[in-house]
Chain A
């Protein structure tokens, strides 16, 4: 029961066009296992017949669900830990000196089920330099499904076990039945909305810090370059960009420079490129 080359090709092209996620040959098994539940829901017993019908009808709702089923949502609280240490020890204290208005705006682009923006919120609470500041976190993702979960702010035992020191868990979460729910004061800092990074960002405002982690890896070079260029346009000239551990700007968009921060690094718009975004 392996997906046919034809069906795989159609799914790959559609997903590529809609999300720029590249599904190389070899990912047939992944496609098959992710699409099987969707195929079953629509009365098919194989992914092949499901895709055949999709090619005929082009049902927009289903076409969209196919993309959602294939975008990996893997995430965890304080993922890789170092970026959050850098945020608390370097980035926030530096920005605190530069913002007399005592307010900051943070963007978690591709926030998945919310662990990343809530980790940012918890980090700001642990940073004395910004105590009492107005901090707005805008968290966006392509998938409505993960956003619904993120808005609910409820996580399973398996999810809270990952990456969260237990003192942080008992401080910032409450039991809610079998799950744990983020406390309302943190939830109030984060605003979730749907946004496709491939499309124009729209009126998002200007950000002091942008987390764009573990999503560029799915895109081809031209798309990465275009996204990084547009991120520059919505960043404060002295702002900070965080990428995933496997991602970098070098050779993609050289208007950025990499600066060490703690045990990891962050990206800033190069001095000579800052004037054009002012």
Chain B
């Protein structure tokens, strides 16, 4: 049996850079990831199953998420975005990151559909990639799960 290694932080960082450049018109500058609380945050999750089994989880502040959605949809940055649009946009960002990451893994894997919900705490910084979006950190955590 071959054990497929999961995605590493470099791979996730590279995927984030392409998404930031093309969907958010920004540069995904790495920022130090810190543990702690998210006062008013969002968590998006997408599963990968097959050769590697696990999840990618994206965490960010709800205000930053709203601005990301506005940028993606071509709305003015300060426009208040409906929650439905914000959740959908953040889910799609993670979906595209997840697809790029999955495509770079050895072997066959399948991608699930993104789920988005409110979050109040940040993940363990050890297995996280953190990039900045207009000064606000956006975290993506790599979680290996049993098959």
Contact = CB atoms under 8 A, between A and B. Distances in A.
B18 A177 contact: no
Contacts of A61: none
Interface in B1-21: 11, 14-15, 18, 21
Interface stretch (B31-39, B62-70, B98-106): B98-106
A156 interface: yes
Interface string A167-210: 00000000101100000000000000000000000000000000
Interface size class of B (residues with CB under 8 A): 10 to 19
B114 to A, nearest CB: 19
B104 A177 contact: yes
Contacts of A157: 18, 100
A231 to B, nearest CB: 35
A178 B100 contact: yes
A36 to B, nearest CB: 11
A175 to B, nearest CB: 7
Contact of A175 (B11, B22, B104): B104
Interface size class of A (residues with CB under 8 A): under 10
A158 B17 CA distance: 11
A177 B8 CA distance: 11
B11 A158 contact: no
B104 A178 contact: yes
Contacts, number: 19
Interface string A199-237: 000000000000000000000000000000000000000
A156 B18 contact: yes
A152 to B, nearest CB: 15
A205 to B, nearest CB: 39
B6 to A, nearest CB: 14
B21 A178 contact: no
A178 B22 contact: no
Residue among A156, A157, A177 having the largest count of chain B Cβ atoms under 10 Å: A157
Interface string A54-70: 00000000000000000
Nearest to A159: B18
B11 to A, nearest CB: 6
A158 B22 contact: yes
Contacts of B21: 158
Residue among A156, A158, A178 having the largest count of chain B Cβ atoms under 10 Å: A178
The 7 closest A-B pairs by CB, nearest first: A178-B104, A177-B104, A178-B14, A158-B18, A158-B22, A178-B100, A156-B18
Nearest to A156: B18
A75 B104 CA distance: 25
A178 B100 CA distance: 6
B134 to A, nearest CB: 16
A158 B18 CA distance: 7
B94 to A, nearest CB: 16
Contacts of B104: 175, 177-178
A181 to B, nearest CB: 12
B101 to A, nearest CB: 7
Given A157-B18, A158-B18, A178-B101, 11 more contacts: A156-B18, A158-B21, A158-B22, A175-B104, A177-B11, A177-B104, A178-B11, A178-B18, A178-B100, A178-B103, A178-B104
